[in-house]
């Protein structure tokens, strides 16, 4: 089993960035992943003082095939939750990893005409490591349709119903599976993969320099605050795992959250079905987010008319301003959604700030006020401060989902990387920008999408590349975590 423990405080939340790992010429996956890990480890800072520890886990993924978008979905969501909790000032331990043992791995190897080997399973395990190293968000590729239809929420009682039907003892060993951990004093059987794998959540809590033992691992953060899983493994995490913990006299996780499936062509996406999408390809094609130009427009006006310098504190500029009230309400709405694990709704609330900023810009028309000079020009300069303060708040509030993007925004507001890395959720309070602060030179923070369309010419298929020249506003794209 390969288990990764990302024990990072809020000052270290940008070590993993939302872009794929890129291999250099003649560099294999193992070498590239090793370099990334060395870079990650070198970026670790001394832990800040935290009053509360938040332990979050993802599934320990089977390595019978490389990771796909379903794997990315859970891991990215877990990373976003981790970043949000660190913004709240908590010490966060994020446990993720892979499971190399069991019948599925042996079956996958047999289908390829071979037997399981450490080399092969580590190759797939590294795919999950790479997934962890480019954690971020991708463009929403799904068209959302809503209708008012009644549903019986039977899934709310799935675990209770299964327990009430009568629990039976389950075997913790397998005599027919050679690829696994041998039972002590019995070389004919191996430990059942689920009994083995779930223990990794606790063993991963052991400090690196300590002698591994149950007491030290538990004292480091057990019970977990949240198990984030797909609903297909709900029974193992909500029934088998609690039974194992109770038999050992250990506390139960505070919450198990089972999300739904990603589908492709109406069918669950899964490695065994062979209908998966590879996350690296999607990130390389679409980037972490494609959005609008509110920041660029505002900084451009500030450069031309105010030498890129803020004329007044943002708190003073926004006295009695309706946009300030709107931003504060949307930030609080986003915080509630984050805490309820509704990441897409949190994104919608934050990006609505960008939409409100665009409306404010169009209504105030500062480019026209600057031409009038005098008091009108002073009012326009204040309007720009207000809009940039809204962008600063977006950069912090959205950073759990798109940290690399938010850093690009934050840096153009004249802040250092250290300032961004040490930001907390309390910094979303209005009034951060100060008079006299100098903004960076405006430059695009969003890439342009290239759309590929298939055409037929004389019966032969050919590809035509069409550049999408239309820049979409920030509020029009919602990042689905």
pLDDT tens string 90-111: 999 988 877 665 555 555 555 6
For residue 332, CA distances in Å to 182, 326, 430 come to 52, 10, 12
Res. 171 pLDDT band, cuts 50 70 90: confident
Q: Taking the domains of the chain in order of start, what are their residue ranges?
A: 2-286, 294-428
pLDDT at 131 over 90: no
Length of the chain equals 481
Angle at 302 between CA 374 and CA 448, to 5 degrees: 145
How do residues 287-338 score in pLDDT, each as one tens digit?
Answer: 444 344 688 889 999 999 999 999 899 988 888 789 999 999 999 999 999 9
Name the percent of the chain in helix, strand, coil, to the closest 5. Answer: 45, 15, 40
Is residue 8 over pLDDT 60? no
The pLDDT, as a whole number, for residue 109 is 54
Half-sphere exposure of 304 (CA within 13 A, CB side): 13
- Average the pLDDT over 144-151 and give the result: 40
pLDDT tens digits for range 115-124: 555 444 444 4
Average pLDDT over residues 52-57: 91
| Least confident among 183-192, 263-272, 367-376 | 263-272
Mean pLDDT confidence for 13-23: 34
Fold of 2-286: Rossmann fold (3.40.50)
* Share of residues in the chain with pLDDT > 70 (%): 61
The segment with the largest mean pLDDT, out of 178-182, 257-261, 366-370, is 366-370
Question: Measured between alpha carbons, how far is residue 185 from residues 170, 175, 179, 182, 196 in Å?
Answer: 20, 14, 17, 8, 17
The predicted model gives 45-71 an average pLDDT of 68
Place of tokens 């004249």: 414
Cβ 232 vs Cβ 261: under 8 Å: yes
Q: Are 71 and 62 in contact (CB under 8 A)?
A: no
**Mean pLDDT lowest for which of 162-171, 184-193, 310-319, 414-423?**
162-171
Q: Which pLDDT score, from 0 to 100, does residue 67 have?
A: 61
Instruction: Tell me what pLDDT residue 64 has.
Output: 54
Q: Is the pTM of this model over 0.85?
A: no
Contacts for 207 with CB less than 8 Å, ≥ 6 apart: 216, 220
**Given this model, what pLDDT does residue 445 score?**
72
- Rounded CA-CA distance 404/400 in Å is 10
Q: Which residue has the higher pLDDT, 239 or 274?
A: 239
pLDDT digits (tens, 9 = 90+) for 455-475: 443 343 333 333 333 333 333
DSSP letter (8 states) at residue 309: B
Q: How confident is the model at residue 273 (pLDDT cuts 50, 70, 90)?
A: low
Can you give the pLDDT at residue 124?
A: 44
- Give the start-end residues of each E strand in 341-443: none
* Residue 272 tokens, joined: 């065994």
pLDDT at position 272: 62
Give the class (CATH, top level) of 294-428: mainly alpha
Cα 58 from Cα 163, distance rounded (Å):
24
Q: Which tokens is 423 given?
A: 């930001």
Confidence of residue 192 (pLDDT cuts 50, 70, 90): confident
CA of residue 20 relative to chain centroid, distance: 13
* Span of 4-8, 356-360, 429-433 with lowest mean pLDDT: 4-8
| Averaged pLDDT of the chain | 72
Model confidence at 72: pLDDT above 70: yes
Q: Are strands 186-191 and 450-457 parallel, antiparallel or unpaired?
A: unpaired
pLDDT at 441 over 60: yes
For the cut 80, the answer to whether the pLDDT of residue 71 exceeds it is: no
pLDDT value for 396: 96
Question: Do 2-286 and 294-428 come out as alike in CATH topology?
Answer: no
- The pLDDT of residue 339 is above 90: yes
Predicted pLDDT at 108: 56
d(CA 302, CA 296): 10
């Amino acid at each position: 089993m390969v288990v990764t423990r990302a024990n990072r405080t809020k000052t270290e939340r940008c070590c993993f960035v939302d872009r794929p790992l890129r291999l250099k010429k003649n560099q294999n996956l193992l070498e590239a992943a090793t370099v990334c890990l060395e870079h990650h480890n070198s970026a670790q800072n001394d832990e800040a003082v935290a009053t509360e520890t938040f332990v979050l886990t993802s599934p320990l993924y089977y390595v019978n095939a490389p990771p796909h978008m379903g794997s990315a979905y859970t891991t990215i969501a877990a990373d976003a939750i981790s970043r949000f909790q660190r913004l709240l000032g908590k010490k966060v331990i994020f446990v993720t990893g892979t499971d190399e043992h069991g019948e599925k791995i042996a079956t996958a190897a047999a289908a390829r005409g071979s037997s399981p080997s450490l080399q092969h399973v580590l190759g797939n395990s590294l795919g999950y490591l790479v997934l962890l190293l480019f954690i971020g968000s991708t463009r929403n590729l799904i068209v959302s349709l809503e209708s008012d239809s009644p549903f019986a929420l039977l899934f709310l009682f799935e675990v209770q119903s299964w327990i009430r039907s009568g629990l039976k003892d389950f075997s913790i060993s397998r005599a027919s599976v050679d690829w696994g951990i041998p039972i002590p004093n019995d070389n004919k059987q191996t430990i059942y993969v689920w009994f083995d794998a779930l223990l990794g959540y606790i063993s991963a809590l052991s400090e690196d320099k300590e002698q591994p033992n149950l007491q030290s691992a538990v004292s480091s953060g057990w019970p977990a605050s949240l198990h984030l899983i797909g609903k297909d493994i709900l029974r193992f995490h909500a029934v088998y795992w609690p039974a194992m913990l109770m038999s050992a006299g250990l506390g139960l996780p505070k919450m198990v959250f089972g999300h739904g499936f990603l589908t492709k062509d109406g069918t669950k996406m899964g490695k065994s079905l062979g209908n998966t999408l590879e996350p690296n390809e999607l990130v390389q094609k679409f980037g972490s987010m494609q959005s609008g130009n509110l920041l660029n427009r505002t900084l451009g006006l500030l450069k031309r008319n105010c030498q890129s310098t803020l004329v007044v504190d943002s708190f003073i500029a926004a006295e009695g301003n309706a946009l300030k009230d709107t931003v504060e309400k949307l930030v609080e709405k986003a915080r509630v959604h984050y805490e309820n694990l509704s990441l897409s709704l949190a994104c919608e609330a934050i990006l609505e700030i960008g939409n409100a900023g665009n409306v404010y810009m169009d209504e105030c028309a500062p480019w026209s006020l600057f031409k009038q000079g005098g008091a009108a020009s002073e009012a326009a300069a204040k309007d720009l401060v207000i809009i940039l303060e809204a962008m600063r708040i977006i950069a912090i509030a959205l950073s759990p989902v798109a940290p690399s993007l938010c850093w690009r925004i934050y840096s153009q507001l004249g802040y250092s990387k250290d300032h961004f890395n040490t930001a907390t959720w309390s910094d979303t309070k209005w009034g951060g920008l100060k008079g006299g602060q100098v903004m960076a030179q405006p430059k695009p923070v969003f890439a342009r999408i290239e759309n590929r369309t298939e055409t037929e010419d004389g019966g032969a298929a050919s590809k035509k590349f069409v550049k999408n020249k239309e820049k979409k506003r920030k509020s029009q794209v919602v990042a689905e975590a």
